[in-house]
Every structure is written in C-alpha cells, then in structure tokens.
C-alpha cells in the first residue's frame, strides 16, 4: 500500500498538536501539510516545541485538495464553513474532530455522509466509510462504560454519571476557568444535566437498546491537565461476574478497551489510546468506572484509529503508546 498523505487543518491547538505527534511516527503516513492562516511559513516547533529534533515541518498557507485524508481540528461550529470555502476532491477522506456531524440529523453535508467514529460500536461501518465524525471525549468515556449494558437491554433504570476532565478538555485558548491560578487546587461542575455530548451518547445507546435510557450527567473540571475519569451507576439485577462476562464479550475485538479486574485510575491511560473499565456491584447497583486520555482516545488517537480502519491498516498501528505510570 502506498504511503497515506495526510493534511491537518488547525495544527496549533491541542488536538492538532497531538495528531502531528502521532502521525510523524506513523509508519504508513506522511504529513502533506498543516494548514494555518496565521503562522504560514513558520516552523511547527515554534508552536509545539516538543517536536524539536523530530519534525522540520512548517505551517502551510495552501492545501492539497487531493490529499488522501484530511483531519479537521477546528473549533466547534467551524468545520462546515471551512468545507464550504475549501473543497476537497471526491477521493479525500475527511475526519472531523468537532461536534458538527455527530448526530444523525447532521451526518449528511454537501453530499457527504459522516459515520459516527466510535470503533467499538461501528467498526464495520467505519471500514467502508469515506468520512468520519469523531466522537466527543466525554461521550467516548461514557459510551464505553455503558454500551455492553445497552446491548444486553439492561439500562432500564436511571443512569447516574459523574465524570471529571482535565484542563485540556477546554481547548488551548485560555479562559476564566482554565488558567493556572484558578484551576490549581480547585474543582467545579459545569453544564449539569445538559452537556452537549448527551445527544451522541443517547443516539448510540438507543441504537443498541432500541429505547431511550435516562442519563443524569454531572461533568466536572479537575485540577489536572489530561484525562477523563468517569463513574456511572444504575440498577443491575445480575452478579458482578455476569456483568464482567458481558463486558469482556462485548470488547473481545476492541484492542484499546480493557476490562480490568482491579480498580482503575487516570495514570494508567494518560498519554495512551486506551480505555480502562472496572466493574463493582453494591447491593442492586452496578458501578462502572472508565478512564481515558481526553486528547487521545477522546480525540486525536481515536481519529488515527479511525484512519487506520478506513485505509485497511492494522487498527492499532501508530497507537501503541504506554502511559507514564510514575
């Protein structure tokens, strides 16, 4: 197979930066361009000094419309406008990391059909897809915690979800709740019960269970940089051993989703494309814990995973990353 030529739109934000870090080491990919309107001609290492000695790429002011795959790492609400202004060839695969094309009602744009890119749910659809709507970070962690229960029609009671994310989840542009003096030694909730990822979560669960599960979701900001630690609990009539068998069966062909016999924590998954899940039963409540890196399995790593599937590569190629445990 010929080398895949990839383009990146929005290479100076967190997700674009992580994509570059992954793709410069991917054995089947060559980065054709990293497009910018404000940094044209400047070395990428000026924006991403961790690439010093690794990449000599410069930000480009032009794009190759015939590139094999383009990753859109733009702010939410900007992808459709960008595609209208900058058309790509009919053979170019598009992987969008924003929230514009994730819901069924938004999945068709300019004659393109965007497939929801959660490999643990839609692997075969992704293999034959041309365009991908990459899932949200909270949505990934919560869906991976609940999909096996939905498949078994076990989400019959309210599901209570609490998930805390690192500061990179808010994007690279500083805000009142992301600067160090506010975030350090602090925590808070935001968008209680109304977070924008609930729509995509609901559609995925309903596709398996065929009716709507009620989720009460409390998102929180943490005083750390990377990762999402999510807990979900709901009524479950079976034993924890039966639940573990259910999850292990569902994820038997999922190389990045592991069911752990031991309690999980964030350091296991930060800087990896892994999701680690743990199950605990208390009386009639099943507690499901899931942990991911919001920038990798929750964004750029999953985008590369989807690219691998589209181009018929080994799903895990370029993504064999070990966490920094200590």
Active site residues: 137
Checking phi first, is residue 171 left (phi over 0); if not, alpha (psi -120 to 50) or beta?
Answer: left
Q: Which two tokens stand for residue 76?
A: 């939410």
**Is 70 in a helix, a strand, or coil?**
strand
Whether the CB-CB separation of 237 and 253 falls below 8 Å is answered with: no
Tell which residue, 260, 34, 300, has the closest CA to residue 144. Answer: 260
Checking phi first, is residue 62 left (phi over 0); if not, alpha (psi -120 to 50) or beta?
Answer: beta
Whether the CB-CB separation of 309 and 123 falls below 8 Å is answered with: yes
Tell which residue, 112, 15, 19, has the closest CA to residue 7. Answer: 19
What gap in Å lies between CA 54 and CA 271, rounded to an integer?
Answer: 18
Whether the CB-CB separation of 287 and 235 falls below 8 Å is answered with: no
DSSP label at residue 258: E
Cα 265–chain centre separation = 18
Give one DSSP letter per residue of 284-317, joined into a string: TEEEEEEEE-TTTTTTHHHHHHHHHHHTT--TTT
What gap in Å lies between CA 189 and CA 204, rounded to an integer?
Answer: 25
């Amino acid at each position: 197979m010929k080398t895949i030529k990839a383009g990146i739109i929005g290479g100076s934000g967190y997700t674009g930066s992580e994509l570059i870090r992954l793709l410069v080491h991917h054995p089947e990919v060559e980065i054709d361009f990293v497009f910018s309107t404000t940094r044209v001609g400047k070395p990428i290492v000026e924006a991403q000094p961790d690439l010093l000695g690794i990449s000599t790429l410069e930000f480009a002011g032009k794009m190759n419309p015939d590139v094999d795959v383009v990753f859109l790492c733009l702010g939410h609400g900007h992808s459709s406008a960008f595609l209208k202004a900058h058309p790509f060839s009919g053979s170019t695969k598009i992987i969008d990391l924003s929230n514009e094309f994730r819901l069924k009602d938004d999945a068709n744009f300019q004659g393109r059909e965007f497939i929801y890119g959660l490999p643990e749910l839609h692997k075969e659809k992704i293999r034959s897809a041309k365009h991908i709507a990459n899932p949200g970070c909270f949505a990934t962690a919560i869906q991976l915690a609940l999909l096996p229960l939905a498949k078994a029609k076990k989400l019959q009671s309210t599901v209570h979800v609490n998930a805390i994310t690192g500061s990179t989840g808010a994007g690279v542009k500083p805000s009142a709740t992301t600067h160090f003096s506010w975030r350090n030694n602090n925590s808070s909730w935001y968008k209680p019960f109304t977070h924008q990822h609930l729509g995509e979560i609901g559609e995925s669960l309903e596709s398996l269970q065929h009716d709507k599960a009620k989720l009460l979701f409390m998102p929180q900001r943490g005083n750390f940089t990377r990762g999402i630690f999510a807990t979900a609990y709901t009524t479950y009539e079976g034993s924890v051993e039966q639940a573990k068998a259910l999850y292990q069966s569902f994820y038997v062909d999922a190389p990045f989703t592991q069911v752990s016999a031991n309690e999980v924590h964030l350091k296991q998954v930060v800087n990896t494309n892994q999701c680690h899940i743990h199950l605990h039963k208390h009386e009639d409540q099943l507690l499901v814990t899931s942990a991911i890196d919001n920038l990798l399995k929750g964004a750029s790593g999953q985008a590369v995973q989807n690219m691998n599937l589209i181009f018929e590569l080994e799903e895990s190629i370029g993504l064999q990353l070990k966490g920094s445990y200590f």
